[in-house]
Amino acid sequence: MRTLVAVSLALAAGSAAAYASRRDWTGSAACGTCHPAHFAAWQATPHARTASRFGKKPDPKCLACHATGEAPAGPPVAVEVGCEACHGAGAAYAEDDVMRSPVVARALGLTDLATPAARAKLCAACHLRSTKKTPFDPAAPVHTLAKAP
């Protein structure tokens, strides 16, 4: 019942811009409890190690690309390009019964990255800026799952 009410509210909101509040972010570790292989693969990427590039207080303008949350307009939830930096703030869609329905999960804020074009568009928001030493390949996987032996 809670899921139906949440979907109804999400659909009633229509196309109005929505902004997540701090309590709407679950954090990458929470995502990893149900998606351990994806979480482990993400941990091996530079996205997971973003904080190591900065001192104790990163410049807020850098956090628009190098953090998860509302930066630079608001505080980051984490100085990492975490799960929700790409997939959207997860509190509304993180429950198991919601995640089992892609339509419901997307209605509640899960960003649909099923196509290469969608992934390239999302990644380009940060990666088409200067990436210094690392060339950007929009077709490359973000976090590759290890193949079973």
Check residue 61 and give its pLDDT: 84
Q: What is the pLDDT of residues 112-138, one digit of tens each?
A: 988 888 888 888 888 876 656 666 776
Check residue 58 and give its pLDDT: 87
Instruction: Say yes or no to pLDDT of 14 above 50.
Output: no
Q: Give domain limits for the chain.
A: 20-127
**For the chain, counts of helices (H) and of strands (E):** 8, 2
Degrees (nearest 5) of the Cα angle 106, 111, 112? 80
Instruction: Say yes or no to pLDDT of 6 above 90.
Output: no
Average of per-residue pLDDT across 2-13: 48
> What is each CA distance from 52 to 42, 48, 57, 80, 100, in whole angstroms?
15, 9, 12, 9, 35
Contact 134, 45 (CB under 8 A): no
Tokens of 25: 């972010």
